[in-house]
A and B are shown apart, each in its own frame.
Chain A
């Protein structure tokens, strides 16, 4: 039974990794002659990378993706930390309304919002700018909600003791709450970074200027750039996949926590 179970798992996980293996093989190919991706035809990955980074726009796309993901990720962490903490622990007018607003937006689909948000961004003169790409995605309802739920676990007594000691509310937030919220904030940054890294729809709509394209939009138009060379397109796909891998390996615990948020609580 145990042997059978392990055999099934190895076969299943093998199938799950097969396309990843194919990606590495084709990304390392010298040309497009063998696209089956089953056997290495030499290892030309370094040359392919040199070609992509030497000519063409891949470095620009990579830079833009990093600006977009680090920018929106950090902004989301800062604003969600502040709002999530306040919603969990401070009594202020409009708290319930704000909570309803945040939870309500969790149900909305981007397909409804992209049209009017595009019109707003156009009105602001932000089409084809970094602010146009970053600002509409800089705070997520998920982030505010995640921090609020996590902040509810901070004991009231701790905050009360600090107040009795005469600490101001902002000081309590910065010195007591933020350090305690750190795991939630790392999880939020990771989830946000990975989601933005893969965001195709919004940059596609708001950025016509190739100089602003992040990797997903660049990849979508890649074949017109390098000619119809599948192996170089695959090398570019590999480059796109590497930063999420690195983050996942470094922050695996937080990644699972982010994925399962909402699924495990009873």
Chain B
């Protein structure tokens, strides 16, 4: 059935058979040339069977894949459990981890809607009300006021807390929490400091920790699989060792270097942890790290222990316990190897999880320093140990800032100083650094693809990023030269891989994506061939051009 034009907050609990919104291609934010003529199909239709089996009444899209309750009794049981979880969410005992920020955001929002314009999902969808950052927050707020804050029915009615807590409300709220990339751009723009991203996170957490509801890509095949077999990708230690052998061969072939990649080397200075997706999908990334770390003479190692070779921590998106479990596994591996620090590779959410969000759960000898790879790479590039020729990267390059790295950790400049030094045609996107836009794959979307979510995450949540990329390469975008989006994050790369295909960016504008370390190795003069095959430059100056002197660091 068609959605209503004007949506009230209380509609979330009504008309379970009707989607609150239906997205068509005509609704969406227009894209610049050469994608201006692309007609988006809108969010794809579910099959009849899927419609019967899964909750989809928010917007006709399925992300969480919640099975429909089989009976009224089951619905009531789930509502009761949700209410129980709601109480725990607002208790010091059960949710000390985020209680203060949550309560502040619940109590003091004035609903000025300043945050709406900052949300790429809301903007790209053609400003659909269900995607407004305050929509799901207001639903939770009214439930909190009515069911937790001790107000009686009359007072609740007088106050305007008019939402019925029924199964339809919960099912829609659950899907709604998975229409936010948790990029927290909305929070950044809030004059009061209200954090709608946090509220989406807390809704996800309530559902997971109390009702056991979470997308299977995040939970069953994500954190649980990582804890069981070592990686959310399913990669086992034996598989890892085979890939490392392959990487060593590739390094020799591409760079002429014979490198033995250190694995489980006790007493190393650095334990380097990559997103295991890199080993499987982009082994040239961890291989480039190996080249750079060896060239710089660092004492480092990889791990083949459970979780030690996969930096991902999907718990950071939906579940504090899973976050803590995986973070502790990472720390245990580092402790057993007796390293002095953990360095997180090019993975934004792993940065956020291990360096910042999980920071306050570590105690004693498991409280091992955890740092980003970015400043280390910056030191390597400007140390003079590498012979770099920026002309080998003489093609248009723009930088995609992973939200987790910039807005959530404040790691902004090291990657820029590197790119300014090694990529002569580097240019910024219009909104960059701490004001960047999410790639649209944040908070788990990059690795989620149930049913029709793909159309949503590429067509809507990734649309703003496509617009940004296209604008960054104007006005000569149709010229044949290769252009690169540097995305120093595994999940962002996964999203870019899919966006490039979905929007035909390679065909229409010769746009490719890569990580940062690949570009650094590509600039090394003493490698016989291009490290990035698509980046072949026909005429390169024969002599080494020294990289620019680093900008003096301040505040370090």
Instruction: Determine if chain A interacts with chain B.
Output: no
Taking Cβ atoms with an 8 Å cutoff, the residues of A that contact B are none
